[in-house]
């Protein structure tokens, strides 16, 4: 399933146009993105939690040459599925 499939499902379920469904879909993800910048964590009960964490700089190896390379520090978004959702698929 891809983004267009999800938008089509939203439109069908809510009996709205695909344009309105796309706006709703994008608004949800824009809201999550903005909230992560402010709070560093978004909790959606029954679904999961998005957490913005800092990954420190490190040294790695180039797999082709074996040479060491420096990887810069960066911010990453992690997702942890809720117990409720996990239990739905592990019964």
* Domain-wise residue ranges, the chain: 1-39, 51-91
Which whole number is the average pLDDT over 19-37?
94
Q: Is the dihedral of CA 49, 52, 55, 60 positive or negative?
A: positive
pLDDT of residue 91: 76
Name 13's Cβ contacts closer than 8 Å, sequence gap at least 6: none
> Do 60 and 68 contact (CB within 8 A), yes or no?
yes
Q: In the CATH scheme, what is the code of domain 51-91? A: 4.10.520.10
Structure confidence by residue, pLDDT tens digits, 45-56: 999 999 999 999
In this predicted structure, the answer to whether residue 39 has a pLDDT above a threshold of 90 is no
pTM: 0.73
Name 45's Cβ contacts closer than 8 Å, sequence gap at least 6: 82, 84
């Amino acid at each position: 399933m891809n983004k267009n499939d999800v938008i089509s499902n939203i439109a069908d379920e809510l009996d709205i146009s695909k344009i309105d469904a796309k706006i709703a879909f994008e608004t949800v993800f824009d809201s999550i993105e903005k909230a992560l910048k402010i709070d560093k964590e978004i909790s959606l009960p029954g679904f999961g939690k998005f957490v913005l964490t800092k990954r420190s700089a490190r040294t790695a190896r180039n797999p082709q040459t074996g040479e060491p390379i420096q990887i810069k520090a960066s911010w990453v978004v992690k997702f942890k599925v809720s117990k409720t959702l996990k239990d739905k698929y592990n019964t």
